[in-house]
Amino acid sequence: MRGWTAVLFIMPIFLAAFYQSRNTISLLHRWPPSSPAVLLNSLISPFNIRIYRTMSTFTHPNYAVPITLPEGLSQEQLLEFHPFRSWISTLENSLGLQAQNRSHPFHQDPYVLRSVTIQSFDLFGGKRLGFLKLLAEVTNSAGEKLPGSVFLRGPSVAMLVILIPEDAPVDTDERYVVLTVQPRIPAGSLEFVELPAGMVDEEGQFVGTAAKEIEEELGLKIPTSELKCLSEMADISPKSDDGKIQDGNLPRAMYPSAGGCDEYIPIYMHERRVPRDTLSDWTGRLTGLREHGEKISLKLIKMQDLWREGARDAKSLAAVALWESLRREGKL
């Protein structure tokens, strides 16, 4: 009797899973399953059953916002993660401008951060928190929502390194820019051409990171005092009609994908004269930290061609715009 009970219980599940398959051949091709988890998901998928990982919730100590964490991520890890601290602080400051500024478009019915749900996370080296995917619920009293799907990774720096031949005249326009060519799997490319760039460390040392990246990727040792931040030199803080700075707490930097990611990139510049016969040595040079999976080759191009060669790279286009505009205004 027990045997028939088991058959009656299992048979509907098996038939539903079988029906879900396109044909018998495709079902057999997937058998045996690669793991018990795959088998379980195959059996329960016809019934739209979803199994969620254990989650916990705590209230943010500074902003009284409920935050839900996935299994494996602690409250301490999250609150110590600099990109998260910076993001929630910047967002709360921006939300506060609604009430402070009567000309703000949302002044009459301001939006509020209601909750944050951490959906997934990546650890660097198996220990250090590296990336976060979260969902922020931001609504007003009318129940209107703002898009709140966010990928947190923190800031980076980009470096515009300009080389001038030593024998060129002082007022020359003959300039060359060093680009990197490397695999960028998120872009689906193994030969992505871009300005040298790197993630900022947890201490937020932008200038130091820029100098370090230039040495690692280009082989140039440059004192931090010789680096110019083009983003800081440009007055990029937008102003409202009454002259007040809007979102003045945002960093002076370029946001390559503000619709879904917190990353912002200040652009630094270094210009130096080098022997003409060494310019050709830059193209094709292999650099990068191989132990970090960096497989970088260098490419030397004329400054006037940067907008074309780096057209797919937001850092290159921003660097061109800043460099040309600052020169036009006599700031470079």
What pLDDT, in 10s, does the model give residues 232-272?
998 766 555 555 556 667 899 999 999 999 999 999 999 99
Q: Which comes out higher in pLDDT, residue 17 or 249?
A: 249
* HSE toward the beta carbon, residue 249, CA cutoff 13 A: 12
The pLDDT value recorded for residue 222 is 81
β-sheet bridge partners, residue 145: 139
Backbone Cα Rg of the chain: 26
137, 245 Cβ separation under 8 angstroms: no
Largest CA distance in the chain: 98
> Tell me, what's the pLDDT at 198?
85
CA–CA separation, 253 vs 240, rounded Å?
19
Q: How far apart are CA 286 and CA 296, in angstroms?
A: 6
- DSSP class of 165: E
Give the CA angle between residues 161, 165, 168 to the nearest 5°.
130
- What is the per-residue burial (b if ≥16 Cβ within 10 Å, else e) of 258-283? eeeebbbbbbbbbeeeeeeeeeeebe
The string of pLDDT tens digits covering residues 149-186 is: 999 999 999 999 999 999 999 999 999 999 989 899 99
Specify the long-range contacts of residues 20-25, CB closer than 8 Å, at least 24 apart: 20/45, 20/46
Instruction: Say whether pLDDT at 101 is over 70.
Output: yes
Q: The tokens of 4 are what?
A: 């028939």
CB 269 within 8 A of CB 228: yes
Cα–Cα–Cα angle for 233, 276, 329, rounded to 5 degrees: 20
DSSP letter for 53, please.
P
- Rounded Cα–Cα distance for residues 81 and 71 (Å): 17
